[in-house]
Amino acid sequence: MPRDGAKKLTIERNPNPVAASEREALLQNPGFGRVYTDHMATIRYSEARGWHDGKIGPRSAFNLDPSTLVLHYAQEIFEGMKAYRWPAGGATLFRPDANARRFHNSAVRLAMAPLPEELFLESVRALVRVDKDWIPTADGASLYLRPFMIATEAVLGVKPSADYLFCVIASPVGSYFKGGAPAVTLWISEDYTRAAPGGTGDAKCGGNYAASLAAQAEAIREGCDQVVFLDAVERRWVEELGGMNIFFVFDNGSVQTPPLSGTILPGITRDSLITIARDLGLTVREEPYAIEQWQLDAESGRLREAFACGTAAVVTPIGKVKGRKRNFTIADGGAGPVTGRLKAALLDVQFGRAADRHGWIDRLF
Ligand SMILES: Cc1ncc(COP(=O)(O)O)c(C=O)c1O
């Protein structure tokens, strides 16, 4: 493999794959992130050799020295994307180039060696092709792909690693929320923030998620499903959930989502929904929304719907919002019509039932 070039990955088939009958049983009810395919993609980086040893091989454990940098200083980034089996035949990825670009940007922010976007794409595509029998066929199910990269230099000094391991694993998944969650209840985090200006909020690095867990645990203790974070400076502006972006729908039919200010993850679902909403003739604003305004608008009825979105959970209606000082319901607390329309329009493109007007579909076979 040339220093930064994309060249065919070596393919080494797993000599002991899961038996077809067991695989079919696992695919019946995979849950989320509990079942894995037979293979994984790996590519190594060293300063001397650049990217090298790219391969698809049997899924296996890593052997890491206890001093490996990632275990101490969390120099790690990841992505989340899905392969979809189309009812009419074949399988596709949805905007994988956008994941490759975001992965590149995350690497730059974490001072890691950026993986060439072509290599990212080639690894993901090759893994799905080798593990194609693991793409579920059930309605709404898909093969979740988790590309990630870790700092592998074995040294305790705080510095950017000289060595990295890029890896992609794959997991057949059903619905993210158990029971398909008709509408979720959010907990407003007042003690914790997710990201500050100048921090890593717009990078997809493991540390952001570690930092969100105490807030998420608080949400669960308070009887809520997910945490919603406010900005770190004024503790007033609605930013996003722990793993999803957020949208609001008003009585005049317009749609609003917080702007990408550097503290929010630039979601690919968010970006796609903005485009789809505009295609449907809706007005979309990327503007800040204050928590007190959210409550006022929910109580006056000006706000008709709110929903969260991301690759894993697609589009999820928000029914109720709770906090120490607040407790309000959006409309009747269920799923609204604009949310339903946007979700259906997105899924129709992802599963090939609607025309791909924006070149988002990457056909694998
Ligand atoms: C913090 C955060 N926000 C938003 C999203 C949604 O991003 P995407 O639509 O690209 O999955 C995710 C999921 O990756 C996330 O982790």
Query: Does 169 share its domain with 248?
Result: no
Query: Does 214 share its domain with 311?
Result: yes
Residue with structure tokens 């999820």?
A: 316
Residues of the chain falling short of pLDDT 50: 2-6
Give me the pLDDT at residue 201, please: 98
Residue 356 belongs to a domain: no
Boundary of a domain, candidates 173, 201, 226: 173
| Among 211, 210, 209, 218, CA closest to 189 | 218
Residue 169 belongs to a domain: yes
Q: Is 245 in the pocket of ligand 1 (CB under 6 A)?
A: yes
Give me the pLDDT at residue 6, please: 45
Q: Is 272 in the pocket of ligand 1 (CB under 6 A)?
A: no
Question: Using CA atoms, how far apart are residues 190 and 9, in angstroms rounded to an integer?
Answer: 47
Q: What CATH code is carried by the domain that includes residue 220? A: 3.20.10.10
Boundary of a domain, candidates 173, 202, 223: 173
The answer to whether 227 touches 215, Cβ cutoff 8 Å, is yes
For a mutational test of ligand 1's pocket, the pick from 245, 246, 360, i.e. the residue with the most ligand atoms closer than 8 A to its C-beta, is 245
For a mutational test of ligand 1's pocket, the pick from 246, 311, 343, i.e. the residue with the most ligand atoms closer than 8 A to its C-beta, is 311
The residue ranges of DSSP E strands in the chain, in sequence order, are: 10-11, 39-46, 50-58, 76-78, 81-85, 91-94, 142-151, 163-173, 184-188, 226-230, 238-241, 245-250, 255-257, 284-286, 303-310, 314-322, 327-329, 361-363
Q: Is 269 in the pocket of ligand 1 (CB under 6 A)?
A: yes
Q: Is 203 in the pocket of ligand 1 (CB under 6 A)?
A: no
Query: Does 164 share its domain with 234?
Result: no
Query: Does 148 share its domain with 196?
Result: no
Ligand 1 atom at minimal distance to the Cα of residue 212: 1
Query: Does 223 share its domain with 252?
Result: yes
Residue 261 belongs to a domain: yes
Q: What CATH code is carried by the domain that includes residue 148? A: 3.30.470.10
Query: Does 127 share its domain with 275?
Result: no
* Residue ID of nearest Cα to ligand 1 atom 4: 244
Boundary of a domain, candidates 173, 204, 234: 173
Q: Is 96 in the pocket of ligand 1 (CB under 6 A)?
A: no
Residue 359 belongs to a domain: no
| Among 177, 28, 93, CA closest to 351 | 93
Query: Does 165 share its domain with 208?
Result: no
Query: Does 15 share its domain with 110?
Result: yes
Give me the pLDDT at residue 179, please: 56
Q: Is 226 in the pocket of ligand 1 (CB under 6 A)?
A: no
Q: Could you list the residue range(s) of the whole structural domain that residue 298 is in?
A: 184-350
* Residue ID of nearest Cα to ligand 1 atom 5: 244
- Cα(49) to ligand 1 centroid in Å equals 33
The answer to whether 283 touches 254, Cβ cutoff 8 Å, is yes
Residue 3 belongs to a domain: no
Give me the pLDDT at residue 333, please: 97
Question: Using CA atoms, how far apart are residues 307 and 317, in angstroms rounded to an integer?
Answer: 4
Q: Is 206 in the pocket of ligand 1 (CB under 6 A)?
A: no
As for how many domains the chain has, the answer is: 2
Query: Does 136 share its domain with 221?
Result: no
- Cα(310) to ligand 1 centroid in Å equals 5
Q: Is 80 in the pocket of ligand 1 (CB under 6 A)?
A: yes
Residue 5 belongs to a domain: no
Q: Is 258 in the pocket of ligand 1 (CB under 6 A)?
A: no
Query: Does 337 share its domain with 234?
Result: yes
Ligand 1 atom at minimal distance to the Cα of residue 272: 9
Query: Does 116 share its domain with 190?
Result: no
Give me the pLDDT at residue 139, please: 84
Residue 355 belongs to a domain: no
Ligand 1 atom at minimal distance to the Cα of residue 312: 11
Q: Is 316 in the pocket of ligand 1 (CB under 6 A)?
A: no
Q: Is 243 in the pocket of ligand 1 (CB under 6 A)?
A: yes
Residue 357 belongs to a domain: no
- Cα(202) to ligand 1 centroid in Å equals 10
Q: Is 336 in the pocket of ligand 1 (CB under 6 A)?
A: no
Query: Does 222 share its domain with 168?
Result: no
